[in-house]
């Protein structure tokens, strides 16, 4: 896959997550992935050799990823280095499906910290879920 195809794939993955949103956050110049206003991912807005995605994960697993892929996975750029990794998208050492799983894990970790009412709201309405996607993303 090209970098653009990989980015499109990851954006599509967000559309399968209940009540998740992805939009271009112009003040930061990134695609911003969120659930109820809580960020679970950031991704470069353009496909280049330096395009990346930043995702939350369990600190111990973050360390493992950094050791396994030291040239691809680094501590989260401008984020809490313990909880976030930044992954280069121009490399294919990490399969797209694995990136999708990491995206889902980041979403789940953020959802675990939502307010009780928000968790209940999601749980009651999963069957009627619709995803909000900014019109700039096709």
For residue 111, which of 59, 37, 44 has the smallest C-alpha distance?
Answer: 37
For residue 131, which of 122, 63, 68 has the smallest C-alpha distance?
Answer: 122
For residue 114, which of 41, 40, 53, 45 has the smallest C-alpha distance?
Answer: 40
What confidence tens digit (pLDDT) does each residue in 100-138 have? 999 999 999 999 999 999 888 877 766 554 443 343 332
Strands 132-133, 20-25: pairing is: parallel
pTM over 0.85: yes
For residue 13, which of 127, 137, 122 has the smallest C-alpha distance?
Answer: 137
């Amino acid at each position: 896959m090209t970098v653009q195809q990989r980015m499109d794939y990851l954006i599509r993955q967000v559309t399968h997550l209940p009540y998740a949103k992805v939009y271009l956050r112009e003040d930061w110049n990134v695609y911003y992935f969120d659930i109820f206003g809580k960020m679970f991912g950031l991704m470069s807005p353009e496909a280049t050799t330096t395009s990346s995605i930043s995702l939350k994960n369990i600190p111990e697993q973050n360390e493992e990823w950094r050791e396994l892929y030291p040239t691809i996975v680094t501590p989260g750029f401008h984020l809490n280095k313990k909880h976030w990794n930044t992954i280069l998208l121009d490399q294919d050492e990490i399969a797209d499906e694995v990136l999708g799983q990491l995206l889902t894990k980041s979403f789940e970790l953020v959802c675990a910290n939502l307010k009780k009412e928000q968790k209940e709201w999601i749980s009651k309405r999963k069957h009627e879920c619709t995803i909000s996607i900014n019109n700039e993303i096709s």
